[in-house]
Structure 1
Amino acid sequence: MDPKNEFQALVDKWAVAIVANDADAIGSFATLDWILTGPEGGPGNREQFLSVVASGDLTHSEMAFEVLEARVFGDVAVVLAHGTNRGAWRGEPFTADEWVTEVFIREAGAWLCTMSALTPNYAAAAD
């Protein structure tokens, strides 16, 4: 399977876990030291993200990714995707349209995300 299709299948499964609001399932796609950097609060770690999901403070009702590029360098891969999602933060609804950059590492034959960076798609907001 070519890298773009391989990572599309992987992030599609990750999106299902996110929409299920299942912290354990979401965590299974990431390394223990995963870092998520978003425009709302800067870098955060895996434990912080999964705890707000587990508490119900953060929920998602929709999540979709379109992998635009996937580059593999041995046991490291960099993936660029367009992501859209909808959910609620502490009961307040939100929507997001973002460029997503993910760094994956291969551990025991499986790809795990070690770093994610979210960049708002300002062009979409202007439409």
Structure 2
Amino acid sequence: MDDTSEHAEFHDLLDRWAAAIVANDADAIASFAEPDWVIVGPEGGPSRLSDFLAVVRSGELTHSEMTFEILDVRRFGDIALVLAHGTNKGEWQGEPFSADEWVSEAFVRRADGWRCVQSALTPNYAAATPPTAR
């Protein structure tokens, strides 16, 4: 898709947020999200920011890599919806994991910048499925 200024703005934002996650810095991670941020992933139901930060602080969840490719940005005043393709690697409770996902993010613009209010992760099953024989 086009690399518009909005794409560039959110690419930079997600790159900085990913850097905080890879640094396993709970306070830095929190600075990108609203206090009532919710994430929904394939591993379970909705999880609040406080729960996510708790597992980061405890060391149960660590990330070693995270990247995003912005696919679409839709702005509605102080609300933005971002669709991205994301990959990440890390450890959960000492076990390695890797993920290839479609990421849907909802942001609200505050006086000091954009803050995420909700994230939804959908596995990219096509990446794990071998191409059909022709």
TM-score in terms of structure 1 length: 0.98
Larger radius of gyration: 2
- Tell whether 2:8 aligns with 1:5: yes
Q: Which consecutive residues of structure 2, in runs of 5 or more, have no partner in the other structure?
A: none
Say what the alpha-carbon RMSD is for the aligned residues. Answer: 0.9
1:28 and 1:112 mapped to 2: Cα distance? 8
Shift of 1:53: 0.4
1:100 and 1:7 mapped to 2: Cα distance? 13
Q: Which consecutive residues of structure 1, in runs of 5 or more, have no partner in the other structure?
A: none
- Tell whether 2:52 aligns with 1:49: yes
Q: Which of 16, 19, 23 is the matching residue for 2:22? A: 19
- Tell whether 2:68 aligns with 1:65: yes
Map of 1:83 onto structure 2 = 86
2:78 and 2:23 mapped to 1: Cα distance? 29
1:5 and 1:62 mapped to 2: Cα distance? 20
Shift of 1:2: 1.7
1:115 and 1:66 mapped to 2: Cα distance? 18
Q: What fraction of aligned residue pairs are identical, expressed as a percent?
A: 64
1:96 and 1:121 mapped to 2: Cα distance? 8
Shift of 1:109: 4.1
Q: C-alpha deviations, 1:25-69, integer Å up to 9, x for none?
A: 001000000000001011000000010001000000000001111
Shift of 1:74: 0.2
Shift of 1:108: 1.0
- Tell whether 2:114 aligns with 1:116: no
Shift of 1:75: 0.2
TM-score in terms of structure 2 length: 0.93
